[in-house]
């Protein structure tokens, strides 16, 4: 994953659980604990509801261990991660990978199909050329044109039976930064349930997966950040056994001559995608929410919302390039707009 330290919160958890507290009107035995650590280049907050503090803490520790384990497989910042080894062997050989890496790559290819190629994990060489997360720079159009043949998903070969991945052209690089955090949130929830948590939330910055309800019976409230008003919440929604992911052009960007250059790239132009300011996707699983937020951001508000309306169990809140707010039909009764003047368009 092309993760570098990003302190920007895309979506803020807004429920009032900061440390070990017992729920007010809840069954007396339920305890809620929240802890935060730095992983995958971002702040990871895990909240667990358990029957005891010990149980809730054990579930949180298991969740963090799972995130760390997946980072070792998927991060392209770790030179000997599985994906780094796949990238290093581009044009040379297929690389044996874990079931988890295979799953993320296969699901990435599915999101690519759903979004007509707008989501493209072969984007790695272009991500490196812009280097937005480390030392941002403006690549020349010649440089980007030379990289274009490498951004080709047809050259990403996955062999599910052999469990290998082969990138056919030298110089190709896959980058699952647009989907991996959502997948990690799903997997962390699975281990937390195994560890005995009755409910909880895993939030890797703006990629959030919830399960169950808070001890007082309330679903987990989540705030969506205003893309142009720092520190302001645009909308709130309550989630139960759902994931939400937000992709925004304000997360990682630089400005030159009044133009904002950000980290979500259009695979056609290899330039930052221009159709949206932010896209929040709600789905049952984080892996779909995360993959789709990036893909829909590239598709743009209109085509993106059309796609959402065609997909079962997928909803979205989009702020388009002009700052207008679009809410998918299945969400209109669930979203509370908290910002004063977002122009609403349905």
Asked whether position 285 contacts Mg ion by CB under 5 A, the answer is no
| Cβ at position 111, least distance to Mg ion in Å | 9
Residue 264 interacts with, from Mg ion, ligand AMP, none (CB under 5-8 Å by kind): ligand AMP
| Cβ at position 320, least distance to ligand AMP in Å | 16
Cβ proximity to Mg ion, 123 vs 239, nearer residue: 123
| Cβ at position 318, least distance to Mg ion in Å | 14
3-state secondary structure the chain: CCCCCECCCCEEECCCCCCCEECCCCCCCCEEEEEEEEECCEEEEEEEEECCHHHHHHHHHHHHHHHHHHHHHHCCCCCCCHHHHHHHCCCCCCEECCHHHHHHHHHHHHHHHHCCCCCCHHHHHHHHHHCCCCCCCCCCHHHHHHHHHHCCHHHEEEECCCCEEEECCCCCCCCCCCCHHHHHHHHHHHHHHHCCCCEEEEEECCEEEEECCCCCCCCEEEEEECCCCCCCEEEEEEECCCEEEEEECCCCEEEECCEEEECCECCCCCCECCCEEEEEEEECCHHHHHHHHHHHHHHCHHHHHHHHHHCCCEEEEEEECCCEEEECHHHCCCCEECCCCCEEEC
| Cβ at position 31, least distance to ligand AMP in Å | 32
Question: Among 66, 82, 242, 293, which residue sits at the site for Mg ion (rule: CB under 5 A)?
Answer: 293
Q: Which stretch binds Mg ion (CB under 5 A): 158-166, 183-191, 286-294, 332-340?
A: 286-294
Residue 184 interacts with, from ligand AMP, Mg ion, none (CB under 5-8 Å by kind): none
Residue 120 interacts with, from ligand AMP, Mg ion, none (CB under 5-8 Å by kind): ligand AMP
Residue 326 interacts with, from ligand AMP, Mg ion, none (CB under 5-8 Å by kind): none
Asked whether position 290 contacts Mg ion by CB under 5 A, the answer is yes
Q: Point out which residues bind ligand AMP (CB under 6 A).
A: 2, 119-121, 123, 127, 175, 177-178, 247, 263-265, 267, 290, 293-294, 298
Residue 263 interacts with, from Mg ion, ligand AMP, none (CB under 5-8 Å by kind): ligand AMP
Residues of the shown chain interacting with Mg ion in the complex, contacts defined by CB under 5 A: 178, 290, 293-294
């Amino acid at each position: 994953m092309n993760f570098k330290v990003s302190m920007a919160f895309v979506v803020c958890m807004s429920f009032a659980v900061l440390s070990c507290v017992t729920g007010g009107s809840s069954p007396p035995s339920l305890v809620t604990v929240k802890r935060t650590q730095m992983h995958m280049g971002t702040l990871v907050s895990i909240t667990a509801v358990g029957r005891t503090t010990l149980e809730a803490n054990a579930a949180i520790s298991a969740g963090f261990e799972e995130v760390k384990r997946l980072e070792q497989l998927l991060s392209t910042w770790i030179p000997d991660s599985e994906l780094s080894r796949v990238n290093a062997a581009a044009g040379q050989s297929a690389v044996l990978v874990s079931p988890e890496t295979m799953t993320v790559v296969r699901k990435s290819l599915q999101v690519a199909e759903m979004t007509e190629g707008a989501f493209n994990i072969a984007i790695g060489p272009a991500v490196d050329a812009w280097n937005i997360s480390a030392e941002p720079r403006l690549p020349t159009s010649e440089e980007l044109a030379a990289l274009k043949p490498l951004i080709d998903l047809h050259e990403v070969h996955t062999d599910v039976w052999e469990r290998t991945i082969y990138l056919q052209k030298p110089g190709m690089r896959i980058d699952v930064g647009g989907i991996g955090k959502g997948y990690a949130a799903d997997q962390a929830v699975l281990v937390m349930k195994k560890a005995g948590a009755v409910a909880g939330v895993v939030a890797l910055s703006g990629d959030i997966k919830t399960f169950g309800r808070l001890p007082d019976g309330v679903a987990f409230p989540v705030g969506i950040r205003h893309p142009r008003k720092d520190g302001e919440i645009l909308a709130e929604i309550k989630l139960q056994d759902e994931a939400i992911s937000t992709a925004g052009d304000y997360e990682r960007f630089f400005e030159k001559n009044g133009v904002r250059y950000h980290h979500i790239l259009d695979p056609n132009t290899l330039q930052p995608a221009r159709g949206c300011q932010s896209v929040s996707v709600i789905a049952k699983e984080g892996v779909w929410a995360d993959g789709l937020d990036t893909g829909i951001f590239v598709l743009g508000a209109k085509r993106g919302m059309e796609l959402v309306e065609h997909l079962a169990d997928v909803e979205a809140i989009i702020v388009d390039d002009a700052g207008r707010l679009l809410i998918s039909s299945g969400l209109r009764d669930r979203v509370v707009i908290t910002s004063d003047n977002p122009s609403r368009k349905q």
